[in-house]
Amino acid sequence: MNNISLRKLFLYLFLLLLGIGSCNGQIFHKNPEKELFGKTPGIKKEAKVKEPGTILKAKRKQEANDRKLEKAYEKTVKRSQKRTIDIQTPEVQARMKQNKKDYSERDKEKRKKVKASTKRAGKKYK
């Protein structure tokens, strides 16, 4: 009887140690699925394609040309507006200046009103 209980005890210890050993086998693997199957096919880095230097140079030249044209256009518009005012009689010039001031004030008030209303709406939905 003592012999049978020793066998059971050794069998129990053997199974216990075997179970602990297999549990400790995967402690150091962070992602076992990655170890089994490797990288997932959905995650791929796209190769960076570098454009030739001549193309980059041409793009920079085109951007500089666009900026130059935009400045020239703004200058032309200002000159045209100034000329439009200069060719008028003094009474018309004064009226034009007053209209410009009135418009500026109305626009400023409108922007203030819009800003205040959006602040209230923003507070409402916080």
Element (H, E) at 85: helix 53-86
The whole-number pLDDT of residue 69 equals 97
Q: How far is CA 81 from CA 31, 68, 77, 116, 126, in A?
A: 70, 20, 6, 33, 46
What value does the mean pLDDT take over residues 20-25?
A: 55
Judged against a pLDDT cut of 70, whether residue 15 lies above it is answered with: yes
What does the alpha-carbon distance between residue 107 and residue 102 come to, in Å, rounded to a whole number? Answer: 9
What does the alpha-carbon distance between residue 78 and residue 74 come to, in Å, rounded to a whole number? Answer: 6
Instruction: State percent of the chain over pLDDT 90.
Output: 47
What does the alpha-carbon distance between residue 109 and residue 1 come to, in Å, rounded to a whole number? Answer: 103
Q: How confident is the model at residue 89 (pLDDT cuts 50, 70, 90)?
A: very high
Higher pLDDT, 63 or 14: 63
What value does the mean pLDDT take over residues 79-104?
A: 94
Please report where in the chains the tokens 């045209």 appear, as a residue.
80
Cα four-point dihedral sign 44, 48, 49, 55: positive
Ordered by start, the domain boundaries in the chain are: 53-88
The whole-number pLDDT of residue 94 equals 94
